[in-house]
Amino acid sequence: MPQTAYLPHIAYDSVIFGFSEGDLKILIMEYHNTGLFALPGGFVQLQENLNDAVLRGLNERTGLTDIYLEQFYTFGDFSRFDPEVMRTLLEANGIRPDDGYQWMLDRFISVAYYALINYEDVTPRPDALSDSCEWYPVNELPELILDHRQIVERAIQTLRDNLDRKLVGGNLLPKKFTMNELQNVYEAILGTKLRRTTFQRKMLAAEVLTRHEKHFSGKAHMAPYLYSFK
């Protein structure tokens, strides 16, 4: 990461949502030998579109290319500047700031994005600086560096606000899913239980779903239809 390759003072952070075992989860990285946890983030190349930089980072971590991605806020408080945290990260990886990494200790403004992906499609990959990149339920996050906790809170709030307006819930599921699975996603995002019949009626009335064949789970009850988003 030589200094010349990236725009200084500008970073991005991504809140990558997945859904499994009934929980809304996000990807969190742990840095080598530090016990420090952070959102996956990165920098923007000198001639690269901001959005493309984020997609590039997501692809490196998840292997996915077609990702539902939305920018939601840019965090620009001076107080989010904490060179000691970055110094710790670099030193734990045997990097001397003097060797062209001084710029990483500067103040950064961070553009935050959230992504919705199908949990099953992903095997999280750590990067050079991190031990691990793992799913954590949003209610059981470790302590995060800097203001990353606030970034997550705001991501969840934005996701909730957009849930009905943009009908984005389906991006957290496989292409085909049952109505019950979709309802579970909504409940995990909103943090509340929903009424089955009302939910079903609303989704069908929205005319955004295509109904496919039935899905036989082997359980002893009526088989539900599979749906996909139009």
Q: Which residues bind DNA (CB under 7 A)?
A: 178-180, 195-198, 200-202, 204-205, 214, 216-225
Residue whose CB is less far from DNA, 204 or 208: 204
Q: Are 47 and 56 in contact (CB under 8 A)?
A: no
Q: Which of 29, 111, 155, 185 binds its own copies (CB under 8 A)?
A: 111
What are 138's two structure tokens? 């949003």
> Does 107 help bind its own copies (rule: CB under 8 A)?
yes
Give the separation between CA 227 and CA 224, rounded to whole angstroms: 9
To the nearest whole angstrom, how small is the minimum distance from the Cβ of residue 77 to its own copies?
Answer: 5
Whose tokens are 């499994």? That residue is: 20
The entry of DNA, its own copies, none near residue 4 (CB within 5 to 8 angstroms by kind) is: none
Q: Which of 44, 90, 122, 159 binds its own copies (CB under 8 A)?
A: 44
Give the burial string for 103-122 (b: 16+ CB within 10 Å, else e).
bbbeebebbbbbbbbbbeeb
The SS3 of residue 215 is: coil
Give the separation between CA 73 and CA 75, rounded to whole angstroms: 6
> Does 77 help bind its own copies (rule: CB under 8 A)?
yes
The entry of DNA, its own copies, none near residue 111 (CB within 5 to 8 angstroms by kind) is: its own copies
User: CB under 8 A: which stretch of 86-94, 107-115, 134-142, 207-215 binds its own copies?
Assistant: 107-115
> Does 48 help bind its own copies (rule: CB under 8 A)?
yes
> Does 3 help bind its own copies (rule: CB under 8 A)?
no
The SS3 of residue 174 is: coil
To the nearest whole angstrom, how small is the minimum distance from the Cβ of residue 157 to DNA?
Answer: 20
Beta pairing class for 209-214 and 225-229: antiparallel
The entry of DNA, its own copies, none near residue 197 (CB within 5 to 8 angstroms by kind) is: DNA
> Does 105 help bind its own copies (rule: CB under 8 A)?
no
Q: Are 108 and 9 in contact (CB under 8 A)?
A: yes
Give the separation between CA 185 and CA 169, rounded to whole angstroms: 7
Residue whose CB is less far from DNA, 160 or 196: 196
